[in-house]
Structure 1
């Protein structure tokens, strides 16, 4: 095989393209992981708030029942 400048340029272009694809895949995976983590954190916060509100509601119902 002859290593002409054209052939070397072609190989370099392929290596660069492959590197860019690998970087893009890695960046996308990081974005997905961050999104899933944030979604999980949001769900945990909402569940905690819901538990607080349910406890407040129980307390109000108990207070209301005690009044009568």
Structure 2
């Protein structure tokens, strides 16, 4: 995310990530173009900076190697 954008949402997800009695999955939904992938990437980058990221993978319709799950599994 661009600096200063989606801060309330990122804060909400950050609180969820460290909560003791949390739901096991945070479901981020929205219409195409909402910025779900951008938010997910920012969350992954922040978790990585805190050394708490296990893994991340992002598909891309523009990259032949990343547009299919065949290389993922």
Same fold, judged at TM 0.5 (above): no
- Taking structure 1 as the reference length, what is the TM-score of the superposition? 0.29
Q: Which has the higher contact order (CA 8 A, sep 6+)?
A: 2
User: TM-score, structure 2 length as denominator?
Assistant: 0.27
Higher relative helix content: 1
